[in-house]
Amino acid sequence: MQVILREDVEHLGKIGDMVNVADGYGRNYLLPRRKATLATDKNMKALEHEKRVIAERAKKLLDEANALAKKISAVSITIDRQAGEEDKLFGSVTSMDVHEALKKEGVEVDRKKIQLEEPIKKLGEYVVPVKLQQGVTAEVKLFVVKTAD
């Protein structure tokens, strides 16, 4: 029996794969649980159409992410903090602070996408990666300066 998988099935295949399975396995397990559909001409055409739609949507999202990455890379932000001896900050600069600074510059990015490994605790210049999508990462220049008292 030939079926088209509607979801990933372990040891069998991934979504959209057309596989040959035993009649009983397909009829008693895959089809009732809607893990697969019969490989008919109609279902094959529907699958191809669905794959095209998904590919177009993915391409559009990738283009948008690349455009946002260019916009982010062109921005440099400055955050001023109080600092003590040896340029150590009182407190730290976190991804939330970077998010707020980017927002002030007119760049909307989800705070969770800012990949700050650990909070910044010293004055200086840093490069903060922002992972927008799988395969698309932008880098924003961050300057942490001492507040003028």
Q: What is the pLDDT of residues 80-94, one digit of tens each?
A: 999 888 889 988 999
Please give the domain boundaries of the chain with CATH numbers for all domains: 2-67 (3.40.5.10), 76-146 (3.10.430.100)
CA 55/CA 60 separation, integer angstroms: 9
Q: Quick check: 80 and 146 in contact, CB under 8 A?
A: yes
| The predicted structure's pLDDT at residue 84 | 87
Give the pTM. 0.66
Return the percent helix, strand and coil in the chain, to nearest 5.
Answer: 40, 35, 30
pLDDT recorded at residue 87 = 86
In angstroms, the CA 9 to CA 34 distance is 11
Contact 125, 142 (CB under 8 A): yes
Q: Is 24 exposed, middle or buried (0-12, 13-18, 19+ CB in 10 A)?
A: exposed
* Pairwise CA distance, residues 117 & 95, whole Å: 9
Query: How are strands ordered across the β-sheet holding 76-81?
Result: 76-81, 136-146, 124-133
Query: What pLDDT shows up at residue 94?
Result: 93
Give the CA distances from residue 86 to residues 22, 89, 108, 133, 147, in Å, rounded to whole numbers and listed in that order: 71, 9, 34, 37, 15
Q: For residue 148, what pLDDT is reported? A: 74
The two three-digit tokens of residue 75, written as one number: 């921005």
Residue ranges in the chain whose pLDDT is less than 50? none
Write out the two tokens for 93: 């600069």
The pLDDT value given to residue 149: 62
